[in-house]
Amino acid sequence: MFYLSMPDEVQTDLLISDALQRGKQVCVPLLGEKYGEMSAAEITNLDDLTVGKYGLKMPDPDKKKFIYPEAINMVVVPAVAFDREGNRLGLGAGYYDRFLPEAVNSVLVGLAAVPAPFL
């Protein structure tokens, strides 16, 4: 599972394209009707995406195929920062905080952008 990047996040489009070219099953977040609710939906191409809630990219609701969280073996998550124990600091909406406990078979891979002065 990959997150779909916002402009200020580490971009994942090339990672998603590579995984799809390698024949991997790829899913991405699909925001629910209620605030903070998120599920995983399979995509087979980046062209499967549309603009949804909050102006974010998302799977086309008419073509969605849900993936159970426990069937996911890796989740790439966005973060503002991580502490020394690997705990994630997000943007505060709690979508991943609610979703990740259900992805019990997943290895978590966190991506955070390093501000330019630190490069």
In order of their start, the domains of the chain are 13-114 (3.40.50.10420)
Q: What is the pLDDT of residues 36-71, one digit of tens each?
A: 889 999 999 999 899 987 788 999 888 889 999 999
CA distance 18 to 12: 10
Q: What is the pLDDT of residues 67-113, one digit of tens each?
A: 999 999 999 999 888 888 877 777 768 899 899 999 999 999 989 87
pTM of the model: 0.88
Higher pLDDT, 89 or 7: 7
Q: Tell me, what's the pLDDT at 118?
A: 54
